[in-house]
Structure formats: C-alpha cells, structure tokens
C-alpha cells in the first residue's frame, strides 16, 4: 500500500517570520494525522526557522531546489549537504517553473536527482505537459521523456513523482479526475518499464495544479493518485490542513 504524501510548495513566498507563524498554527492542526506523509517546502531562507518548529513532529521539510555539485565556486547555489544540515529530508526537483524560467534541462535535473539521492533526500520529481503539448497530442511523449531522462540511472527508492500539468498550475483549472487518473496511470506504466511493476507499484505519484480543499477528495479517490503537491492553497494553515485531512 502506498502511503499518501501531501506537500506544500510555497515557491517564493514567506519570510522566516511568516514561516514560523504558519507552522505554529499548522502543526497542531495536523498533529493527529498518521496516515499521510506531510511535507512543507519553504524558501531556503526559511528552512532553519521551519526546522526548529517541525523537527520531532509529523511534518517533514523539503527544499524547493538543489545544486548538483557537493561544494565549490557556484555563486548563489545551495549544496545537498547544506539542505540536510538545515533539516531537509525531501527536495523538489524539476518543477515546471524551474524548467521554464531557469531553463533546467532533463540532464541537469537528472544530475540533481542523483546527488539528492546520494544524500538520502527523498526527491519529489515534477513532470507535466503544457497546454500546447496536450492539445497537439504530445502529452504522453513529454511525460515519457521527462521520466526516462530525469530518472536515468536513478533507483526507485526515495523517488516520488509529481504530475503537474502546466496549464493547471496557479490557474484555478484543475485536471478532471479522469485526466489526472489517465496521466497517473500512464506514468506508472512508464515507471514499470523502468523499474519493473513491483517497484513501480510502490512509487507515489502526486497530483499538482490548483489543488484545493474542495477538489482533494475526488482526486484522492483516483486509483493512481497518491497525494498532492499544493501551491496557492498551501499558503494558509487552515486550507492546507484541510487538504491534509482530506476525506478518507
Ligand atoms: P498551485 O501550484 O497549487 O498554485 O496550482 C502547484 C505547484 O506549482 O506545485
């Protein structure tokens, strides 16, 4: 059985003080949740403040990015050991905003994934098609390429995949449950081709893109949806806690 994972991706939001205020409200709201892996991904500058509050709770800490070298002359980058020292046990890799605005290639993302796993960080590996790719019938090819290139020579353990159709991110347009399940099933098939069916069956596939307390229940009922990566609706403790405490 796959344990659901629900992760908050705060993107470029919240100072350290705002992070503290959120978590002091959020952690008590979800303290009894045992059947979901709960994760928050604040900006780098909030990680220490977040770790001070979530260590020894049921809330895990993620970074939103990582660099693929151990250390050195890479101005502005953050090394894997810095993330683990700051209390992270997860890292988001390959978010469409990184791919789009920062031109992160499949090859770069593969290197990031490899070094993250070397440091025992669980990787939330994001994939997803644009509207144009979907409408021109290239969606499955895009997902296949992103999986095969991004996870090349990476073992299945510690990998969580997040399917985030780009047209659904921050737009209020969620994929229908049929669209989500169709993509998730396809992703699991590709993972089975890569790792074999038994391991593919263990990998959690999260849905992301305009997830809210109102649509989480229906999404979680899809056979291959194992959780969510939540942007906008994760910025308020009240709404993110409602997503975590979805209707089982
Ligand atoms: P959204 O973002 O929930 O605001 O659509 C999701 C994401 O980009 O991870």
As for how many domains the chain has, the answer is: 1
Beta carbons within 8 Å of 4's beta carbon, 6+ residues apart: 35, 36, 37, 204, 220, 226, 227
* Cα 210 to ligand 1 centre (Å): 6
H or E stretch covering 31 = none
Instruction: Compute and round to an integer the Cα radius of gyration of the chain.
Output: 17
State the residue range of the domain holding 236.
5-244
Clarify whether 119 is annotated catalytic: no
* Cα 92 to ligand 1 centre (Å): 12
Q: What is the mean pLDDT of the chain?
A: 97
Averaged pLDDT, 98-125: 98
Averaged pLDDT, 73-102: 98
Clarify whether 95 is annotated catalytic: yes
> What ligand 1 atom has the least distance to the C-alpha of 229?
9
The CATH number for 96's domain is 3.20.20.70
Quickly tell me which residue has 């070397």 as its tokens: 118
Model confidence, pTM = 0.98
What confidence tens digit (pLDDT) does each residue in 225-240 have? 999 999 999 999 999 9
Contact criterion met (CB below 8 Å) for 35 and 3? yes
**Percent of all residues in the chain with a pLDDT value above 70, rounded to a whole number:** 100
């Amino acid at each position: 059985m796959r344990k659901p994972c629900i992760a908050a991706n705060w993107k470029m939001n919240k100072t350290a003080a705002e992070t503290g205020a959120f978590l002091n409200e959020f952690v008590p709201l979800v303290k009894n949740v045992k059947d979901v892996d709960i994760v928050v991904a604040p900006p780098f500058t909030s990680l220490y403040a977040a770790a001070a509050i979530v260590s020894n709770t049921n809330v895990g800490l993620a970074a939103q990015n990582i660099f693929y070298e151990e250390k050195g002359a890479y101005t502005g980058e953050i090394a894997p050991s810095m993330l683990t020292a700051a209390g992270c046990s997860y890292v988001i890799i390959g978010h469409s905003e990184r791919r789009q605005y920062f031109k992160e290639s499949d090859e770069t993302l593969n290197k990031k994934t490899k070094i993250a796993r070397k440091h025992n960080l669980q990787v939330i590996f994001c994939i997803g098609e644009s509207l144009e790719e979907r409408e021109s019938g290239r969606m499955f090819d895009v997902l296949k390429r992103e999986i095969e290139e991004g996870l090349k020579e990476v073992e299945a353990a510690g990998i969580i995949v997040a399917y985030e159709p780009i047209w659904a991110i921050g737009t209020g347009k969620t994929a229908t449950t049929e669209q989500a399940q169709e993509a998730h099933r396809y992703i699991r098939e590709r993972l089975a081709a890569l790792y074999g069916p038994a391991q593919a069956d263990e990998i959690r596939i999260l849905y992301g893109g305009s997830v809210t307390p109102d649509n989480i229940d229906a999404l979680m009922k899809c056979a291959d949806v194992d959780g969510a990566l939540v942007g906008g609706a994760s910025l308020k403790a009240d709404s993110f806690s409602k997503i975590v405490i979805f209707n089982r």
